[in-house]
Structure 1
Amino acid sequence: MLLVFAIVAVALVLFVIEPIPIDITAIGVMVALIVLPGTGIDAAEGVGGFASSATITVLAMFILSEGIRQSGLVNIIAVRIADRFGDSPFKQLLAVLGLSGGAAGFINNTPVVAIMIPMVNTISKKTGVSPSKLLMPISFAAMLGGMLTLIGTSTNILASDVSGRLIGRTFSMFEFTQLGLVVLVTGVVYMATVGRYLVPERISTGDELVEDFDMAEYLTEVVVRDDSPLVGETVEQSLEAVDLDVDIVQLVRGRSVFSEPLARKEIRAGDIFVLRADRETLLELIDTEGLDLAPDAGVTDERLEVESDDVEQAVEQSLVEVVISPETSLVGETLETLNFRTRYDATVLAIRRGGQIIHARMDERRLRGGDTLLIQATEETIQRFGTDRNFILARELTRPDFRTTRIPIALGIVAGVIALAALDIVPILVSALGGVVAMVATGCVEPNEVYSSVDWSVIFLLAGLIPLGVAMERTGAAEWLASVVVLAGSGLSPIAFLALFYLFTALVTNVVSNNASVVLMIPVAVDAAQAIGADPFPFVLAVTFAASTALMTPIGYQTNLMVYAPGGYTFTDFFRVGAPLQLLLTVVTTLGIAAIWGV
């Protein structure tokens, strides 16, 4: 038992400080449980998480969600919302909350929020309302909407699997839809009333991107003098020679403007560079490299978004924001290790991480999920960003390559999956896998998209943590924790005890993975309920609902991370807006569980 507690403690620390991705930590937990004696887990049981019905069902749901995403259905609805409610801030808030929460009940909430980020930017430009006022609310709504059905989030599927193992009762498709609706409506009403005044306006819609990212002090035009040692060198050679934190964003030669790729361009006297550099670096360049400040140098969005008069380079350049997806393998990499400039034919001008804007030493910064990159690139390159699942393009609301003719088919397949499971004709695992086959067979999902549509970090996280729950039960760790909780809560009524479990799980979820919270807390909740003579199923539900309400930090849930940088939020913004809602939901969910299932 002490050994299992030690493994849990190390895992929790690694989950919080995240020196390595949390899925790798989970695999480490699995290995430790197998290798260390006394945990009660052998090799077959240790890797059994990969064969768990919960893991396979979650994998299938990612692919089903991809079929809906590729159909463009959510985008079409988003466009209509932008057109119909764009003139009323209150109506547009209700509309985006309803779309986010409703869609998240049936498809994975991560792609829902990914689709809605550019939609919010479109609405903001039309109405002048800051995107900050909408992005946090849609993240919260997507989280709460996941509690409408069993397939709304991977946490529900995992909790159902753990519940079936411990008390022999799994969740049906619409087991908690009634309570899920109450929770979602509570969240929507809160965000439309109290919350709308608490959500800050961090991003101004009137600012150009150059101003928005505080680029005024970092973008400068310089002229190459006749005596410059750079004359005759290529741009790539010049950057290697100076060994400073500087980027050449544009090269202006007469009436021609050159952007990426610039590496092989030979520098000539009289060339004008648009540089990204801080003041000290700029002064050093001027002193040592034969450069002069260009007269009337002033760099704006329009200056960077020019179309060259040169026939060879007649390509329009644009400034655009792209968000690093929390699900991508790029997390933990740097711009340098990715060779970003060459690999993507794009120049990164700045990085926004929450409320912080990074200009210096960007190449050395490890990328995090939710980071927003200000890039300059051609329209062709930007379109590639729009179709790359590693990025969320925060500019365009629609793409021309959606399979809109497949909308009825994709909807029919998902409806069939839900109906077969809801009517107990086949288990959800079987209907979901059948739905995957149908999605590919009908062309809703291409074969090469099947594997890229899966968030493998979640799959490995589930597979790694499932044996931890088993070890907690077998070693008596869960029972011991439950006895401590029961002793601490002696004198509390069962409903107060239920609220205590909900609140504690919610607090844990705000700093560690929601799936980890379920694995750790459900065994404890079941043992505690049995110790006080209560039905354990309501306690399982309390933990499940609490694990999907990480409202107080940007790191508690993926959708919060996705809106963290685009909204320009600070870490404390989430606590100010989310903490009152967290307390409100503690009361509402606890009373709802007691009213529907009893305690």
Structure 2
Amino acid sequence: MLEMPSFHAIAAMVVTIAMFVGFVRGRMSIEIISLLTIAVIAVGLYFFPLEGTKEVDGLELAFGGFGHPALITICALMVMGRGLVVTGALEPAAHFLERVFKMNLQLGLLVSLLIAFVFSMFVNNTPVLVLMIPIFVALAQRGAMPVSKTLIPLNAASLLGGLATTIGTSTNILVVSIAVDLGMPEMGVFHFTPIVLMASLVALPYLWLVMPRMLPDNSVADASERRRFHTRLRVAGDSSMIGEEVSAILPRLPTDIRFHDELAGPIQPQQRIHISGTHEALEDAVRVLKGELAPSWVLDRIRRESSARSLDILVVEMTVTADSRLINRTLPTSGIADLHGVAVLGIHRPERLIGERDQYSEGGDLRIAEGDVLLVMGLPEDVQVFARSDSLLMLEGARELPRKSKALLSAVIMGVAVFTASVGIFPIAISALAGAILMFLTGCVKFDRVGRALSGQVIVLVAASIAIGRIIDDSGAAAWLGQMMGYGLQFLPPAAVVAAVMLFVTVLTNFASNATAATVGTPIAFSIAKQLGLPAEPLVLAVLFGCNLCYATPIAYQTNMLIMGEGGYQFKDYIRTGVPLVLIMVVSLSFLLAVNYGM
């Protein structure tokens, strides 16, 4: 006879459902709902403690998530991801995928999904996703698919890959270990890989073709005009483009780039070419042509001082006011570099005015006029002095250039952290935390900029999810749900039993935690197999698979929360895209298990 759940178990289930409903309705922010959930658990357990505990134990359970290794791991991974971005360490990988995306957006997404899937079979999917998130953020900024349409599919692909081997996730290892303790033979690394690969043949097309269409475009619309800057590109002596015609190199340049000179013959060393484009397009043109947008001596000086003084290089847009001394001067005659040690990379002027002949000097350089926007590069102090001295108005949106001198170092730090975690030398929490500390100590990430790497929304959501997982487990709610399920399964055919066990664990893992689902679900599955006279292995595999089908909520797995801030996702985005994927995987995996084990 199934007993009624305890008061605490009922309360735990009610709080979990209330939090879920609050997230889905979206009337309050995720941060508020998460903090309210923690507060309800803390106050409730203080006045009504769990059996055998004290009032203060409830406070530790409610607030323990803020010091939990999972939260520390996520924050450390965010910091390391920030280090890769600000040092430009991922630019080569981003350029490769950018070329694939330029060939075809769908092809680029498919290649990316397959990379995430394959790597996650052998390396913990968390560091794999950490490596790929900054790449896709950079690709979105370069005009590829919006990051909000790629991160959830990418995360799902990494989770699918982690499902395929016993070493793919820590949850797999946990389930297999519990099963061995219960008397089952140990499973090899690829014991169930064929089953997962066959199911993935059904799931991957959904991730590739359907899921991105179900996700919103959360790109932040730029309210201001995308300014085009006119400049003279100086072709370096070692450029691979020397000797080629402009028509031959155009396909390799960004589509935003325009040539304003009538160039006759091949490109020559040190040639100055009048081009225009957005700042990002000009940077790409510099990379392709191996040129410079300003005199090399001032650029070299800025970089040397930046390295010597450990200062970031800024790129700022400045408007020329009516009383500026620069009006009617050209960049070569302005003396800006000599006086202030900054470099002007380009000049923006409305296209309707740019063609007027009297605006150019005899040498073909554009004369600076009131209202022009200058693209200025320099150290923070020099940029401020230049703006004050020459009556310029600094616009919002200044950005820091990547600290490329630290690129290799940040890549090595991340690589060592990923390697030591993936092969089990250190837990992911220790390797990630050590990597984040090294990022700080080596200057890859600066202490005063760490706030840009962390998401407050993710932090409180992780803390709330950990508290929910603990109260569901400690209150006995998870065990009671398992017992209730065991009573009902005796009337179902074997294949349906497998599907029901998998679905139960899937629901549990999406609202509690993988570890809770594994520790509760594995003994239940083993017990059900004995009661119904079924082989234990397919039911244990149903638990293992269900623990990894954590696509439907952001609190189900740490990578779900890791992408939440970057993609600008809401709770309903996970439900909308994750529930169909869960159903696809439950049906396909249950069918394959039943066929494979003759059930």
What is the one-letter code of the residue matched to 2:399?
Answer: E
- Shift in Å, 1:7: 3.2
Map of 2:9 onto structure 1: 5
- Structure 1 residue aligned with 2:124, among 93, 106, 110? 106
Change (3 A) 1:67 1:529: farther
Q: Is the 8 A contact 2:218 2:568 kept in 1?
A: yes
Stretches of structure 2 that go unaligned for 5 or more consecutive residues are 23-29, 227-317, 325-370, 377-385
What is the one-letter code of the residue matched to 1:502?
Answer: M
Map of 2:582 onto structure 1: 582
Map of 1:377 onto structure 2: 397
Paired residue total? 425
Secondary structure of the structure 2 residue equivalent to 1:491: coil
Q: How many percent identity over aligned positions?
A: 22
- Structure 1 residue aligned with 2:163, among 147, 152, 155? 147
Distance 1:120 1:149 in 2: 30
Moved more, 587-596 or 40-49: 40-49
What is the one-letter code of the residue matched to 1:377?
Answer: G
Change (3 A) 1:148 1:75: farther
Map of 2:51 onto structure 1: 39
Q: What does 1:488-499 align with in structure 2 at a 5 Å threshold?
A: 488-499=488-499
Change (3 A) 1:379 1:444: closer
Map of 1:281 onto structure 2: none
Deviations 1:144-197 (A, max 9, x none): 344356786676677689x4899589999957782665555543333335556x
Distance 1:20 1:518 in 2: 30
Map of 1:119 onto structure 2: 138
Secondary structure of the structure 2 residue equivalent to 1:108: helix
Distance 1:555 1:431 in 2: 21
Map of 2:103 onto structure 1: 87
Stretches of structure 1 that go unaligned for 5 or more consecutive residues are 213-249, 257-301, 318-375, 384-397, 422-427
Q: What does 1:373-522 align with in structure 2 at a 5 Å threshold?
A: 376-380=396-400, 400=404, 402-405=406-409, 407=411, 410-412=414-416, 414-419=418-423, 421=424, 435=431, 439=435, 443=438, 446=441, 460=463, 464=467, 468=471, 471-472=474-475, 478=478, 480-507=480-507
Distance 2:38 2:188 in 1: 28
Q: Is the 8 A contact 1:462 1:515 kept in 2?
A: no
What is the one-letter code of the residue matched to 2:137?
Answer: P
Distance 2:422 2:167 in 1: 9
Deviations 1:44-89 (A, max 9, x none): 997699999x965885687578668746765542332113442222
Secondary structure of the structure 2 residue equivalent to 1:377: coil
Distance 1:468 1:530 in 2: 29
Map of 1:96 onto structure 2: 112
Q: What does 1:154-193 align with in structure 2 at a 5 Å threshold?
A: 163=178, 167=182, 174=189, 178=193, 186-193=202-209
- Shift in Å, 1:581: 2.8
Distance 2:392 2:185 in 1: 61
- Shift in Å, 1:485: 1.8
Change (3 A) 1:176 1:57: farther
Distance 1:445 1:597 in 2: 52
Q: Is the 8 A contact 1:130 1:201 kept in 2?
A: no
Deviations 1:404-457 (A, max 9, x none): 2464565356435544x4xxxxxx7x565775697589x467499899799865
Distance 1:466 1:573 in 2: 22
Change (3 A) 1:170 1:74: farther
What is the one-letter code of the residue matched to 2:105?
Answer: P
Distance 1:154 1:305 in 2: 52
Deviations 1:271-325 (A, max 9, x none): xxxxxxxxxxxxxxxxxxxxxxxxxxxxxxx9999889764674764xxxxxxxx
Change (3 A) 1:98 1:524: same
- Shift in Å, 1:586: 1.0
Change (3 A) 1:74 1:482: same
Deviations 1:253-282 (A, max 9, x none): 6478xxxxxxxxxxxxxxxxxxxxxxxxxx
Distance 1:166 1:42 in 2: 32
Change (3 A) 1:567 1:61: closer
Distance 1:30 1:59 in 2: 21
Q: Is the 8 A contact 1:55 1:462 kept in 2?
A: no
Q: CA RMSD in A?
A: 5.8
Distance 1:379 1:450 in 2: 15
- Shift in Å, 1:121: 0.9
Secondary structure of the structure 2 residue equivalent to 1:586: helix
What is the one-letter code of the residue matched to 2:9?
Answer: F
What is the one-letter code of the residue matched to 1:549?
Answer: L
Secondary structure of the structure 1 residue equivalent to 2:397: strand
Q: What does 1:57-456 align with in structure 2 at a 5 Å threshold?
A: 63=76, 70=83, 76-102=92-118, 105-106=123-124, 108=126, 111-112=130-131, 114-122=133-141, 124-125=143-144, 133-147=149-163, 163=178, 167=182, 174=189, 178=193, 186-193=202-209, 195=211, 198-199=213-214, 202=217, 209=223, 254=322, 311=389, 314=392, 317=395, 376-380=396-400, 400=404, 402-405=406-409, 407=411, 410-412=414-416, 414-419=418-423, 421=424, 435=431, 439=435, 443=438, 446=441
Change (3 A) 1:528 1:446: farther
Distance 1:463 1:566 in 2: 21
- Shift in Å, 1:497: 1.6
Secondary structure of the structure 2 residue equivalent to 1:86: helix
Distance 1:107 1:69 in 2: 18
The answer to whether 1:546 aligns with 2:549 is no
- Shift in Å, 1:488: 3.1
What is the one-letter code of the residue matched to 2:94?
Answer: A
Q: Which of 1 and 2 has greater Rg?
A: 2
